[in-house]
Amino acid sequence: MDERTQGAMMLAIGGVAVRLGLTDVSLAYVKPGLRPLLTVAGLVLVVLGAAGVLRAFRDEPVPPPVPDPEDDSRLEAAGVAHAHAAVGHSDDGHGHGVSGPRVAWLLTLPLLAVLLVAPPPLGAFAAGRQSGRVVATTERSYPPLPTAVDGAVPLGLVEFQFRALYDETRSMEGQRVRLVGFASPVPGDAGGDYLLTRFIVNCCAADGTAVTVEIHGDPVPRAPDTWLEIEGTWEPRPGQEPDKPTPAPPVVVAESVTPIPQPDEPYEY
């Protein structure tokens, strides 16, 4: 990879990073707090890339003149017969001469993935790969519920699960709540019930943990990954006490279910 290409590559990565930092697209991958850092990092890369392109354009001599094993090996890899290929170039798989490191070509992978595929936020498939256990906490007392909006208390799935499983005052008893998440199948359940699921993310989607609520009483089957806004009431499982939470997710009996578009922030933080 010569200096022009290195510069172009860094310009491209920097540009994509700035775009990710300034738009909601990045929220499928990282927490919102990382967005300013992404923007700054992108700008730094743009400056460094532009400097590289400028240097190559001015044809500044590149310091230590080292023969470059890169050209040989890449032609070789491309299946092109090459006279130099066998003549004792010891190559550390790295191609470190005047041209930049050959491993840098791998950087095109995330670049292309973001530009072309724009992977969606984690969904039902990823949730099904997790252990399905409930989120644990040692907190046993909770502040009063937020005030209801339009007849229902809006709650995140994590807070709902905490209050349902651990709250000694049972603050949610008989309360109509409003939850947002996507549908995912209940493992080993062929009936009409499904899980309302959302990922909780602390830094990036790789550390995402699925939080689920089991939905009863929805007559309509919901396809996995359909985003839903559900109003309903919490139904404690038989025998459940705050000091011995069930390993199964809490249950909500749905009173109204509305399909919604995917929220701008697909995860809870």
Partner 1 sequence: MSVSASPQSAPSPPRPAHPPAAPRARRQVPTLELLALLLILAVLLRPELSGLFDDPAVQTWSTIFVSITVQALPFLVLGVVLSGLIAALVPPSFIARILPDRPLLAVPAAGLAGAALPGCECGSVPIAGRLTARGASPAAAFAFMLSAPAINPVVLVATAVAFPGQPQVVLARFCASLATAVVVGLVWSRFGNDALIDRSRSRVVEGGTRWSSFSRTASHDFLHAGGWLVLGGVTAATLQVVVPRSVLDTVAGNEWLAVGALAVLAVVLAICSEADAFVATGLTQFSLTSRLVFLVVGPAVDLKLVALQAGVFGRRFALRFAPLTLITAIASGLLVGTWLL
Tokens 């070509």 correspond to 105
Count how many Cα atoms sit within 13 Å of the Cα of residue 78 in the half-sphere of its side chain: 7
> Rounded CA gap, 128 and 194, in Å?
12
Answer left, alpha or beta for residue 112, where phi above 0 means left and psi between -120 and 50 means alpha.
Answer: alpha
Nearer to partner 1, 28 or 155 (CB): 28
Nearer to partner 1, 106 or 148 (CB): 106
**Nearest in space to 100 (alpha carbons), one of 196, 4, 210:** 4
Tell me how far the alpha carbon of residue 97 is from its chain's centroid. Answer: 37
Nearer to partner 1, 137 or 258 (CB): 137
Measured from the CB of residue 159, what is the shortest distance to partner 1 in angstroms? 15
Nearer to partner 1, 75 or 248 (CB): 75
Measured from the CB of residue 67, what is the shortest distance to partner 1 in angstroms? 5
Measured from the CB of residue 37, what is the shortest distance to partner 1 in angstroms? 4
DSSP state of 155: -
* Three-class SS state of 170: coil
Q: Which two tokens stand for residue 199?
A: 């990922």
Nearer to partner 1, 175 or 209 (CB): 209
Measured from the CB of residue 57, what is the shortest distance to partner 1 in angstroms? 11
Q: Among positive and negative, which fits the CA dihedral 194, 173, 179, 265?
A: negative
Measured from the CB of residue 141, what is the shortest distance to partner 1 in angstroms? 12
